[in-house]
Chain A
Amino acid sequence: MADQALPGEHIVAPTSASDDVLRVEHIAKSFGPVTALRDVSLHLKKGEVLGLLGDNGAGKSTLIKILCGFQKQDAGTMWLKGEPYEPKSVENARQLGIDVVYQDLALIDDLSVFENMFLCREQRRGRFPFLDKRRMKKETRGALDDIGINLPRLDVPVARLSGGQRQSIAVARGVYSHADILLLDEPLAAMGAKEGAMILELIARLKDEGNLSMIMILHNYVHVLESCDRVNMITDGIIALDKPTKDTSVEELTEIVVDEYRRARAAAQADEAGGRSSIAVAEPDAS
């Protein structure tokens, strides 16, 4: 299994199915000299929760940002419910039914809880351009109650809130945006165990309903096995593993990562050795 992770050696082909709500093929993305994604293909079934794993810097977040319309891929194609999917903007993607919870949360410190909840999809009073703050507060209250998050006030700036509270607001914003597909980039990152459990419970409930499909980046393999139907692992900019959760285990996932670390360390040591020799060559010049 670990062999698959070798760069370019084996790319898991996406297994196509008629009930795919989202399919991406051969996505590549570079930032200047840095290649984030080399050739990523994946698919998401209706009502499925796909866990996206991979080392830091493997390209998970980049993939999420491409899927949600924030960035544009250099190459590759995407399909949403059978139609070609080329989001022009985050707003455009949201209109098409894809919403996202970013790793950095994308919360605005100076705006209140309810203003953040409805940022870019503000509720207006009928045809007037004026904000319907009362309705936004009410719906925010409903959403937070539903998750089980208690906030005494919704009109305080989110800068005042704890890391976990901020995270819950970001998750609530994504979940209650009426999306068909929700992308979650480390939704439990800043949370304590209790808040994290609430969010996982919410995700389990949404999964049971079967309407929402999710791609979720998680680091805790226990959470992955608990919440996801299937896992994809990104290594070196490709999908190196695609398995139903029931066919894998914490041990297997850990083994892949440990193996990756081993290779990385070997590579680093080789680099270091190379680096030393170059310094050694350089030294006579310097003295």
Chain B
Amino acid sequence: MSSTIDSGSPAAAPTGGPAPKRRAPRSAGTPLALAKRFLIAREGSITVVTVLLTVYFIATLSSAFTGTENLQALIPYFAPYAILAVGEVFLMINGEIDLSIGGVYLFAPYLYYELANGHVPLLVAVLISFVACTAIGLVNGLITMIVGISSFITTLGTLFTLEGFTLIISHAEQVTAPGSQLAGSATSNSLSSFASVFGAGTYSELIWALIIVAIMHVVLTQTSWGTHTIAVGSNKLGAAEAGVRVRWVVIRNFMVCSTLAGIVGILEAIRTSSITPDPSGAGVLTLSAIACAVIGGTLLIGGAGTVIGALIGALFLGILQDALAIKGVNADYLDFYLGLAILLAMAINTYVGRVRKGSGLG
């Protein structure tokens, strides 16, 4: 039964009554307006900083930085962070956080290793590991949303649990990642197609990162999954009143985040052909991923965020790390610069946020 004034859908209703005000003149179009629109976009500030940084490094390092070899070497510096950051973006928009991705990152390759050693076909072992990571996300989500513990605490718990569990099953020993050895006979010099796809191929991680970023960007901006994610982070009660299944939205995002962490864990294991139970490295990875999301323009308080921003944030981190290495700058400086970058990016974002509020642009 239709409740509309006129028959048919509201869209078909003639626009009777007071004449609708004409839309505000579209300022977008002129280069200046476009530039303004871009600058106040959520990803705007980090993009500008990243571009400036790149230009600076190209100018000072020239071919050492722009060479194909270096660009290839750059990939592992940012692709894993980009994938992890995308998962965090969804949770951070929800107003939640996942600290356990470091634990999942450690655990997934060991599960894969154990399965492969148990003569499970490699591809199946990888898929089972991914599903196991999804299940870890489900547990994170259930504890957070059903038991009602803050996600910070929940995932802190699962982080240590997974790290500890990984150390136990691995006896804290480094192992060789199954499937990462050279394909076929020992004399063959080419990678197996399995290894090429899952991390060892030169562009493998880049392709994974770009595909995941593309998919999740579409999910966030073009589907009701994304709309509901923003709704829950912005106004949990209002979203529930409007009929959004708040718990499911958050749990689903936990599952995605953990799965992405598992993917990164296995990609990195096969790329480096070794699996190392190193919780401190995993901790740094977690915080870096969150940093990428934050400097990319995603708010920790929820309600807003961008997947593309997380990618650019990761790119920023990668370029900084890579170029400082080429420059021969002491690695100790890296964290220092990264810290300053986070502070600067957040200061700009906050300022730009104020400008955005007054501009009438979304």
In angstroms, Cα B357 to Cα A162, docked, is 14
Q: Which of B107-115, B119-127, B194-202, B234-242 lines the interface with chain A? A: B234-242
Residue ID in chain A nearest B21 by CB atoms: A150
Task: Please determine whether A107 and B238 come into contact, CB atoms closer than 8 angstroms.
Answer: yes
Task: Please determine whether B245 and A89 come into contact, CB atoms closer than 8 angstroms.
Answer: yes
Residue ID in chain B nearest A132 by CB atoms: B222
Q: Mark B326-362, 1 if CB is under 8 A from A, else 0.
A: 0000000000000000000000000000000100111
- Tell yes or no: B147 within 8 A of A by CB: no
Residue among B11, B16, B24, B225 having the largest count of chain A Cβ atoms under 10 Å: B11
Task: Please determine whether B234 and A148 come into contact, CB atoms closer than 8 angstroms.
Answer: no
Task: Please determine whether A211 and B24 come into contact, CB atoms closer than 8 angstroms.
Answer: no
- Tell yes or no: B280 within 8 A of A by CB: no
In angstroms, Cα B64 to Cα A280, docked, is 86
- Contacts A120-B242, A156-B360, A157-B362 known; A141 to B2 CB distance under 8 Å? no
- For B230, the chain A residues whose CB sits under 8 A away are 108, 110-111
- For B240, the chain A residues whose CB sits under 8 A away are 70, 90
- For A143, the chain B residues whose CB sits under 8 A away are 10, 13
Instruction: Please tell me which one of the listed residues A94, A102, A109, A211 contacts residue B2 in the complex, with CB atoms under 8 A apart.
Output: A211
- Contacts A131-B227, A139-B10, A152-B21 known; A104 to B238 CB distance under 8 Å? yes
- For A155, the chain B residues whose CB sits under 8 A away are 362
Task: Please determine whether B235 and A135 come into contact, CB atoms closer than 8 angstroms.
Answer: no
In angstroms, Cα B148 to Cα A81, docked, is 38
- Tell yes or no: A153 within 8 A of B by CB: yes
Task: Please determine whether A205 and B5 come into contact, CB atoms closer than 8 angstroms.
Answer: yes
Where chain B touches its partner, the secondary structure class is loop
- Tell yes or no: B231 within 8 A of A by CB: yes
Task: Please determine whether A109 and B360 come into contact, CB atoms closer than 8 angstroms.
Answer: no
Interface residues on A, range: 35 or more
Instruction: Please tell me which one of the listed residues A90, A157, A182, A206 contacts residue B5 in the complex, with CB atoms under 8 A apart.
Output: A206
- Contacts A153-B23, A176-B3 known; A148 to B238 CB distance under 8 Å? no
Residue among A122, A124, A131 having the largest count of chain B Cβ atoms under 10 Å: A131
- For B138, the chain A residues whose CB sits under 8 A away are none
- Tell yes or no: A97 within 8 A of B by CB: yes
Q: Mark B232-265, 1 if CB is under 8 A from A, else 0.
A: 0111011111111100000000000000000000
Residue ID in chain A nearest B299 by CB atoms: A110
- Contacts A111-B234, A131-B227, A160-B360 known; A90 to B241 CB distance under 8 Å? yes
In angstroms, Cα B218 to Cα A42, docked, is 47
The 7 residue pairs across chains A and B that have the minimum distance between CB atoms: A90-B243, A106-B241, A120-B243, A110-B234, A145-B15, A106-B238, A110-B303
B window 1-15: CB within 8 A of A? 1-6, 9-13, 15
Residue ID in chain A nearest B3 by CB atoms: A212
- For B218, the chain A residues whose CB sits under 8 A away are 130
Known A94-B243, A112-B362, A119-B239; further 5 A-B contacts with Cβ < 8 A: A104-B238, A105-B238, A110-B303, A156-B362, A206-B5
- Tell yes or no: B18 within 8 A of A by CB: yes
Q: How far is the CB of A157 from chain B (nearest CB, A)?
A: 6
Q: Mark A182-195, 1 if CB is under 8 A from B, else 0.
A: 10000000000000
In angstroms, Cα B359 to Cα A3, docked, is 58
Task: Please determine whether B9 and A139 come into contact, CB atoms closer than 8 angstroms.
Answer: yes
- Tell yes or no: A180 within 8 A of B by CB: yes
Task: Please determine whether B5 and A104 come into contact, CB atoms closer than 8 angstroms.
Answer: no
Task: Please determine whether A110 and B233 come into contact, CB atoms closer than 8 angstroms.
Answer: yes
Interchain Cβ contacts under 8 Å between A and B, 12 examples: A90-B241, A104-B237, A108-B239, A122-B224, A122-B227, A139-B11, A141-B20, A143-B13, A153-B24, A156-B361, A176-B3, A211-B1
- Tell yes or no: A245 within 8 A of B by CB: no
Instruction: Please tell me which one of the listed residues A150, A153, A180 contacts residue B3 in the complex, with CB atoms under 8 A apart.
Output: A180
B window 175-221: CB within 8 A of A? 218
Q: How far is the CB of A5 from chain B (nearest CB, A)?
A: 30
Q: Mark A59-98, 1 if CB is under 8 A from B, else 0.
A: 0000000000010000000000000000001110010010
Residue ID in chain A nearest B93 by CB atoms: A110
Task: Please determine whether A108 and B5 come into contact, CB atoms closer than 8 angstroms.
Answer: no
- Tell yes or no: B29 within 8 A of A by CB: no
Instruction: Please tell me which one of the listed residues B1, B9, B223, B360 contacts residue A130 in the complex, with CB atoms under 8 A apart.
Output: B223
- Tell yes or no: A209 within 8 A of B by CB: yes
- For A7, the chain B residues whose CB sits under 8 A away are none
Task: Please determine whether B244 and A119 come into contact, CB atoms closer than 8 angstroms.
Answer: yes
- Tell yes or no: A271 within 8 A of B by CB: no
- For B11, the chain A residues whose CB sits under 8 A away are 135, 138-139, 142
B window 46-103: CB within 8 A of A? none
Residue ID in chain A nearest B225 by CB atoms: A129
- Tell yes or no: A146 within 8 A of B by CB: yes
- Tell yes or no: B17 within 8 A of A by CB: yes
- Tell yes or no: B133 within 8 A of A by CB: no
- Tell yes or no: B317 within 8 A of A by CB: no
Task: Please determine whether B238 and A108 come into contact, CB atoms closer than 8 angstroms.
Answer: yes
Instruction: Please tell me which one of the listed residues A106, A129, A157 contacts residue B223 in the complex, with CB atoms under 8 A apart.
Output: A129
Residue ID in chain B nearest A129 by CB atoms: B223
- Tell yes or no: A234 within 8 A of B by CB: no
Task: Please determine whether B235 and A108 come into contact, CB atoms closer than 8 angstroms.
Answer: yes
Task: Please determine whether B235 and A109 come into contact, CB atoms closer than 8 angstroms.
Answer: yes
In angstroms, Cα B361 to Cα A180, docked, is 36
Q: How far is the CB of A277 from chain B (nearest CB, A)?
A: 41
- For A100, the chain B residues whose CB sits under 8 A away are 241
- Tell yes or no: A177 within 8 A of B by CB: yes
- Tell yes or no: B269 within 8 A of A by CB: no
- For A152, the chain B residues whose CB sits under 8 A away are 21-24
- For B231, the chain A residues whose CB sits under 8 A away are 108, 110-111, 119
- Tell yes or no: A260 within 8 A of B by CB: no
Q: Mark A9-37, 1 if CB is under 8 A from B, else 0.
A: 00000000000000000000000000000
